[in-house]
Structures are given as structure tokens and as C-alpha cells.
Amino acid sequence: MDSCFSHRTAIITGAGRGIGLCIAQLFLKAGANVVIAEHSAELQSSAEAFLNAPDKFFFSATDVASESSVQSMAEDAVRRFGRIDFLIHNAATACNQPMDRLTWEQWQAVLAVNLSGAFLCAKHCKEQLEKNRGAIVNIASTRALMSEPNTEAYSASKGGLVALTRALSISLAPKVRVNCISPGWIVTDAYQHGCQHTKLSAQDHAQHPAGRVGRPEDVAEMVLYLCSDKAGFVTGQNIVIDGGMTTKMIYS
């Protein structure tokens, strides 16, 4: 248990499975209370069984694209645990398809969750985070820095999230530190509540300068570091965790 997390509270959006669930698990192991703000209510029972810490966390069915839903979640967190110290915006959605088939509503829906949701969560946790000199970590993506075809909405939302992180780090300074993480290829099978098994080839691993594909723990450990007292001089940064792929020149 890390004493800097004991009796403190972390809100993690989109934490019913995947990277978010891994982050929740590490916060609990470090001694923090955890609020899982998750839109998919059907993930509640599986997340509760996986974490197995009923006194230390609760599941809040939250639509981060709805201001009233976010406000209610933040108020519930304070009622349950008395405080908010850390906000991890991990919730994300995608609609990757050719631009001429991407509707305006689909575009707006992706930005509403991935980008506007981060703003709404920061807005409604601001008072508590400032009071407790807390930290925000937004989960962006290397798609903010490089792209594949037909990812306009997702890439734009993640690029915006990097910019929002920097803006928040100045607006909330010096009381709240704000950083973001841009993961690359992360295989989340172990945190998906099922028998999902991603088939990885030797080449999948070898193409990464680090020699392997990423794991949720690679991201979660950085989240805890950025929220800890050890990162007290780190704010306004985008930390890329991609095994070196965005550094590698690739020519065909």
C-alpha cells in the first residue's frame, strides 16, 4: 500500500473493463477508494466480482457526454467517500469508417465522449481536486500523433484531449496537476471479463522497439506515478507509451 493514496479517492471513467479496469485495480491495491464511472451498466457485476473490494469502490452508471450525469456522479463520489483526489478520464468510443459515410451525429458522438466528457468531468471535480491538491490524468492515444485511414473522429478527439490537458494544466495550476498518456497498441484481454484471446504473432511483438506489444499495466503504472507525490514536478505533459513505435521510421 502506498501511503500517498491511502484514504484518497480516484474517479476513473470507462473503467468497467480494459485499461480502465486495470487502473482501478492498481489504485485499490495502493489503498485508494475508487469510483468506476462507466456508461455500460451491464459491466457492473463483472467489474465488482473482478475487483472484489466492496467497501473501497462503487460503480456509477455514468454517461460522460451528459453534464447532469457527470455532476451526479461527482456528487455521489463525495457523499460516499467524502472527497475526490484523482480524476482519470479513460472513457472512449470510436466510429472508424470512410469520411463520406461518417454522419455528423457519429462525429459528434465520438467527440462528446472522448473530448467533451473530459472537460465535463474536470469541471465538476474541479472544486474537490483544488481543495485536495489532486491530479488529473487523461488517456489520449498515439492516434493524436499519427494515424491510419478513416479515423478522423477518433484522432481529432484524442488530439483535442492532448490540447485540453495542456490548457487545464495552466487553468488549474498550481493546485491541480494535469497530464495525459497516449498509449499505443495495448492488448487488454486479461481485463475483458471473458475468454477473449488476441492472436499475436512474433512480428507483432518484434516490430516494437521495446520488443513486445503493450499491456494494460504499462499504462496503469504510469497513471499511478503521475498521481503520486513523486510526480509533483510533472504537469502539462503527454506521456507516450507505445513501445517506441512513434519514434520509429517506417518506409515501404
| pLDDT tens sequence across 81-132 | 999 999 999 999 999 999 999 999 999 999 999 999 999 999 999 999 999 9
**DSSP class of residue 176?**
-
In sequence order, which residues have a C-beta less than 8 Å from that of residue 34 and are 6 or more positions away? Answer: 9, 10, 11, 12, 15, 24, 27, 28, 51, 53, 56, 57
pLDDT digits (tens, 9 = 90+) for 207-243: 999 999 999 999 999 999 999 999 999 999 999 999 9
Point out the catalytic residue in the list 154, 191, 225, 251: 154
Query: Would you call 191 a catalytic residue per the annotation?
Result: no
23: buried, middle or exposed (CB in 10 Å: 19+, 13-18, 0-12)?
buried
pLDDT band at 166 (very low <50, low <70, confident <90, very high): very high
The one-letter amino acid code at 100 reads D
Q: Is the pTM of this model over 0.85?
A: yes
CATH fold of 9-247 reads Rossmann fold (3.40.50)
pLDDT band at 195 (very low <50, low <70, confident <90, very high): low
